[in-house]
Every structure is written in C-alpha cells, then in structure tokens.
Structure 1
Amino acid sequence: MENHIYRDVLNLDDFNLQELDFSSTNYISYKENGIQFKNQDFSNTTLRIDKNFIDECKEEIRQRRFLTGVDFIIDIEFKNCHFSNIIIKEEIINANLLFDYDEQNTNQEIEKFILFGCTLNGKFYINKQYSGNNKTLTIKSLKIENTVFKSNFKLHKTVLKEFNIEDTDFEKHADFFKSIFHQGTLKKDDIEKINDNDIGFKAINFKGLALFGDTEFHKKLIFKYVTFESFSHFRKAKLFKGLDLDYSNIQNEMNFFDVTELDNSEAKNNTSQETFRIIKHNFTKIGNTIEANKYHALELKKRRNQLKILSADFFNYLVFFFHWISSNHSQYWVLPVLWILAIGYLTYLSLDSFVCARYGCSNNLIDMFKYISIINYDDCIKKNPIIFILNKVLLGYFYYQFIVSIRKDTRK
C-alpha cells in the first residue's frame, strides 16, 4: 500500500511518509458507500489526498462490504480529526470529501490547506454547520488555485487567518456561511487601489449559487474577473474595509440586504462608485427602495469626490456640491428645512437693509416667516426684483429637496 501522509507541503519529493493503518477499528468505520476517519491524529504531518488514496479507500470498502466494485463517488469523512497540513495537488478526486467537527475538545485548527490543479468531482465540505454542529474551525492558510469543484462546496464557520483563491470554477453551489476572512495575499497596487493583504477572488466562475451569508471580511474584498452566473447573496455580511465589484460579470441578482460596515468611513473610501451603483441596481431590481436610496447616495458621494472644482468639471461639481449641502443627496429632510428657514431670514435681512427704509416696509423679525413661502408676493419683496427672484428660486429648489427627501423611502 502506497503512503499518503507527508511532512513537507511545498516539495513533494522530500516528503517524509507515514502510512495509514486501515486495520484499526478504533478510528475507522465503513459504510456501503464510504469510509470515516474519526478522532485521528494527523498532527505534525501533511495529509496528501490523491487518486491512490481514494483507490485504497475504495478497496477497503470492497473488502469490508464484500462488494465486487465501487464505481460510484464514495464518501470520505474526517470527523473530529487533528491536522497540521492538508494538500490536494494536481489530481482528479472522485470522492465526497467531508471535514466535520462536533466535539468541544477537538483541536480545531489547521496550519495549511492547499488545493492546486485539482478537479473534485464530489462534494467538498469543511465544517458543515448542520446536524448539530456549531463549532468553529481555524485555518491559518487556505490556498485554492487552478481548481474545479464539480459539486457543492461548503466552507462554514471557519476563521481564515490567510486566504487566497484564483483560477477556480465552482460548477454548483459555493457556500461560505459564517466564515471570517482576516486577510488575503494581495500586494499593494496604487493604480488598482489595492492595499497589502486585501482579500482577492481572482478569475473565479460561480456557476451555481454564491453564498456569503453572515461572513466577515476584515480586509477589502475584491472580486476581479469573477463571473456570477446564478443568484448570489451577502446577507448580513460585514465588510469592514470595503468592496470592489468593478471587474465582475454579474448575470443574475445579488442580495446585499443587511450588509453592515460598508458605510463606515474607511469602507466608503475603499469602495468604488461602480460598486455602489451595482449594489443600488440590485436593490432596485428586487424592489428594496430604502436600501437602493442609501447606496444611491453613496454612489453620488463617490462621484462628487471625483470631481474637481478647478477643472472642466466645474459646473458638474457645483451641481453635486449643492445637492450634497442641501440634503446630503436626498438623505436628510432636516437639511432643506433648515435652508428654507435660512432663506426666509436672509430675505428679511436683505429687505430690512435695502428696501424697508426706502419704502416704509415692516422690519419686524416675525416677517421672516412670510419669506419662507413661495406664494408670498407682498409689495415689499416685489419692489426689489433681485431679492424676489433669488428668494423664489432658492425656495423652490429647497422645497423640492424636502419633498424628495421625505419620499425617498416611501415611494413605490
């Protein structure tokens, strides 16, 4: 029987080998279509899962179950096992690989988990959060590259100290439920607006559901050359340092309901106008007006920040600037109310200084409330056409902003 436990992840030629003992009934159990390794200690070694490993498992099932052949995809489950390193490299894996944890005292930490150049024809589950399991697994470094997952992929409730994925296809569903991503492996690039250790999904195809529910990303999350062919959701995800969807191909709906931290100052600075537009568009598609308006305002703020006052964009800058100071891009109805009162008071002061003394108009402060009305045409204000025009134009603009602001979350 060939050996499959190695000490060195990076150089396969120098691996120290350790043989799996299938004769032990203390930690191996069998069923008709699978094998389970339970409470096995793989610490201080590297477990390599390859075709020979799968064939040996199939042979053991044949012998134990007196079968003439095992042509179906078998289950290989590692239950409450201790690992240091796991590697699946340049192999076609015809098995469902299940890494499950449900015991409180299990050492739930893996140093390195590497998948490179693989095609996994069966399910691939790490710490699946069903059947009573609610434990947290820690993986210090998870790297997935040039790999195809033909069946469902689950990475549940796993703390990832370092994460890297690229050139990978998920042909069915990919589920990252409750996982926490601390950092990636991207390098700083000012042109691409990437910071050191940002988390990158690069050249990925999500052909089925892409589920990021209840996840946390402690660095900027960047999807580059990523295709979402089916529905995807980030429900209740926490994006502490921002999101980048600029180079994503989104072919179906994305749900960002209850996403948090994306509107904090650092996340807003790291998130592009196009990303906010994509999120707004997806909320609009599903009829969530309230959230669509929130991200529309963030989109406008990003656009305003890109405009320069001393440039060819001067007039566009003025439009965005006044829209911002008048209502914070239609988000705060209180701002236009304050501006309306200010216009009334400034009109009163102007008339008191330039008109009242000449034409004998009232200079009582209470008159300022007359000048917050668009339909007020008393003789005093009409005697100064410049003040009259400014008063009516500005009041019209701020009343419009007031109406838009109070209707932003209630209109159909």
Structure 2
Amino acid sequence: MSKCSCNDSDKCILHCEKDDWYEIDDNGNKNWDKSEGNINLFWKIFYEKYDSIQILFVIKNVVFPKFESQGLAKQSPRKIVFEYINNSLKFENCTFEDEISLYKYIHKLEFKECKFLANFELSKNDIEKGLTFINCTFNKNLILKNVTFKIGSKVRIKNCSMIENVNFENTTFEDLADFNKTCFNEINFYKTTFEDISVFTETIFNKKVDFKHTTFEKLSIFRNSEFIDSINLKDAIFKEKANFLEIKTDVSNRETARIIKDSFEQQNNIIEANKFYALEMKSREKELDFKENFFEWLVFKIHGLASNHSQDWILALFWIISFTFSFLTMDFVNTHYLTHIVDYILIDLLIFIGFVYGSYLTIEYEKINKFCYIGIYYIFYAFFSGDWLLKCFSNKLNPFSIMTGNEELTFSGLIYKIIIAYLIYQLIISIRQNTRRK
C-alpha cells in the first residue's frame, strides 16, 4: 500500500497515494486495470462513509483514483459526475488522479488545497451557490465554459499556483468573479460576461491575454496584475470604471493602451495615464508604414527617440548633452585641423553619423549605458579641445546664449540651434508630464 495520511487502518485506502495503482501507456494515459480490486474497495469504503443525505459534505485528505459508475460518482467514462442536488461539497487537501467532468446541476463546490492531476471540466451548468478553488494546484486544464454562475453564486480562484490552461468561453458571471493572486499560463475569455465586480488583483498571466468580446458590466479591478506577454482589450466592452493601478504589462495594440490611459484619466491619475499615452504613441508608430506614411512615421520616430513621446526627461537630457558634445567636437576639428570645404563636409558627416548611430544603438538596443556613452563623448571632446572643465560646453548649452549670441551663424550652427531648441522643449515637456497635477 502506498504512503497515506490516515491513522484509521480501515479507511487507509481512501487516503493513500494512488501513483502505483496505474501504468502509463504509450500515449501518456493512465491504465488502471491492474488495480481493479483496489478501486472497487476504495469506492465501497468511500460510499459507506459519505453516502448519506447532508446539507454539506466535507471530504478531507482523500486521494481519488479512477472513478466508477455507482453511488456518489458516476462514470462518463473515466470522468466523475457529482449529483448532489441542493447540497454542497467541500474538498480539503484532496488529490484527484482522474478527470473531473460536471454536467449536472450543482449547488455549491469548494476545493481547498487540492491537487488536480487531470482535467477539471464544468460546462453547461447553472451554479447557484458558487465555485471556489483556494490554494489549489492544477497539472492540466480547468474548463469552465458555457456556464452561468447565477446571482449569489460567487466564483473564487484564489492563491492558486500555475494553472496550465483555463477556458471561460461563453461563460456568464452574474455575481462576483475573484481571481486574486492566481497564476494562469493560458486563458480564454472569449465572449465572457462579468455582470458584477471582477477582481484580478495580483494575478499573473504568463501568455498573451485576449479579452475578445468580453463585457465588464461593473467595476473590474486589475490592480498589481502582471501580464508577462501582453494584454488585448481592443474588442472588450467596459460599461463602468476599471482599475489598472500598478499594472505590469505590454499592450498588443493602440486601442488597449488608449483604454487603460482613459481609465487613469477618469480617476485623475495623470502620471500613470501618461505612461500609457507613450505606449499608445509607440503602437501608432508601429502601425505606420515606412513607405506609405514616411513623414508621419519620421515625426513619430523622432518624437519617440527624443523623449519617449515626452515621457522621459532623462532621455531628452541625454540627447542635449551628447548632441552638444558632437557639435562642439565637429566645430573644434573644423577650426583647428581642416582647411578645405570638402574636408569640412566629410568629417562633419562622419562625426554626425557616428553620433546618431551610436545614440540610436544606446537608446533602441541599450548596447551601452547612456551615462557611459556620455562619458566617452566627454573624453573624446576634451581630448581634442582641451576643454576639460567644459567652459565652452556650458556656454553652448545655455539656450539664451544660443539664441542671442553675436557669433557668425553657419549652416551647421543653424541646424544645431534648431535641434537643441527642440530637445530643450522636449526636456521641459517631459518634466511637466511627470510632475503636473492636471
């Protein structure tokens, strides 16, 4: 007999592990033929203990083998159907080796600290008093499709570790749906309706979540939820407010970013709204075709690179400093080392291309830390110019001296003034976006 947690020798067969009761065939299925006698004895003892009329059955520490067709469990085939009308079943620390499939009317089901080693399927049911999974482990699939959870029937899937696959297709929650602190690998919300509050607080979704044709009639709470891949709300319908505070996610399209941004704006949370404004702009940039919408694409690209769409003041400051280093280096090389106009053009072009390409790699691909990159420019500039104390650099960086200086204006100087003015504007706007009250 396998290891068990029972002190009563007559009931030991209920609680012992069943992992040596079956063999795994070539298709990965469990073959229970060798344990037919043990299975019959298990159900005989189980029915003697639980086959009575009660309002609530509390079943603890039982390890369920293959299900048979009599009493509490009826086979369909290798699947269990609980048929207690107007009664509730509560399972604590139980293990289910076989599939569970519920097709009948169920009053209330609660599973606490249970292990499901095969599929759990509940479909075409009306559950009146609720379904609860607390601290449960699912090795396979949890299927809850084509179900209506009536008013008074709360659904709670809380503190459950990784659930491989969950299907809520065409399911209606007329009462609370609470998925707090649960981890889902794959999940299907196609045509799901939440008529009451839905809670996804601190919930983790490993793969992309698509709320396609999902309706949220009342408040939906996604606070501290984490979407490791991305979230798609493009075809979702929100009839009331949603709470996305401290959500961790990437968005799969511009409409999703807009919905989350709009939710924060309705709550006057402008700082968080700005973050998703930036994601909305990035998504728009991805939508633009380089060939068909070149100028619009260029505007979005420059805006994103310059300040992450007016959200990153450090990025704008990086461009101001590095661009000024680049311009002053070109100016010093031209003044002290070059004599021909062709040399001016070629050297300026090489320095400028090197600057832009290096900055692009730094920002877009993070090939090198921004501050390290600035340090390299500082050393390069100071070595050629001797301006180790950055006196000339500071004068050039001063926007008032840039705009009112009496020095002769060259074409490259004009380009520099235009670019630096734009970058300073982005710096101011970015700081304002991250600190403004309204």
What amino acid is aligned across from residue 232 of structure 1 in structure 2? S
Q: Measure, in 2, the Cα distance between the counterparts of 1:217 and 1:340.
A: 39
> Is residue 87 of structure 1 aligned with residue 90 of structure 2?
no
The partner residue of 1:379 within 406, 420, 429 is: 406
Q: Secondary structure at the match of 1:326?
A: helix
Distance 2:321 2:117 in 1: 63
The 8 Å contact of residues 28 and 38 in structure 1, kept in 2 or not, is answered as: no
Report the counterpart of residue 186 of structure 1 in structure 2: none
Deviation, 1:323, is 0.8
Deviations 1:27-46 (A, max 9, x none): 57876x43333344432123
**2:154 partner letter:** N
- Contact residue 111 and residue 136 of structure 2 kept, 8 A: no
Q: SS of 1:155's equivalent?
A: strand
Q: Which residue of 1 aligns with 2:297?
A: 317
1:292 corresponds to which residue? 273
8 A Cα contact 1:201 1:224, kept in partner:
yes
Whether the 8 Å contact between 1:227 and 1:249 is mirrored in structure 2 is: yes
Q: Which of the residues 67, 88, 108 maps onto 1:96?
A: 108
- Could you tell me how far apart the structure 2 residues matched to 1:308 and 1:23 are? 68
Counterpart contact for 1:246–1:274, Cα < 8 Å: yes
Task: Write the distance in 1 (CA, Å) between the matches of 2:328 and 2:196.
Answer: 64
The structural deviation recorded for 1:204 is 0.5
1:243 and 2:276 correspond:
no
Name the SS for the 1:36 alignment partner.
strand
Gaps of 5+ in 1: 1-15, 56-72, 102-106, 128-134, 184-198, 358-362
DSSP-derived class of the 2:141 partner: strand
Greater fraction strand: 1
| Structural RMSD (CA) | 3.3
Distance 1:20 1:214 in 2: 43
Residue 182 of structure 1 deviates from its aligned partner by 2.1
Aligned residue pairs: how many?
A: 332
1:120-269 alignment, distance < 5 Å: 120-127=127-134, 135-150=135-150, 151-158=153-160, 159-183=162-186, 199-260=187-248, 262-263=249-250
**Counterpart-to-counterpart distance in 1, 2:181 and 2:330:** 61
State the shift of 1:223 in Å. 0.9
- Aligned match of 1:35 in 53, 57, 62? 57
Q: Distance in 1 between matches of 2:281 and 2:112?
A: 46
Structure 2: where are the runs of 5+ without partners?
A: 1-35, 68-78, 339-384
Distance 1:100 1:345 in 2: 64
Post-superposition CA distance 1:186-232 (Å, at most 9, x none): xxxxxxxxxxxxx3210010011111122222211111110011111
| Identical pairs, percent | 29
Q: Choose between structure 1 and 2: higher helix proportion.
A: 2
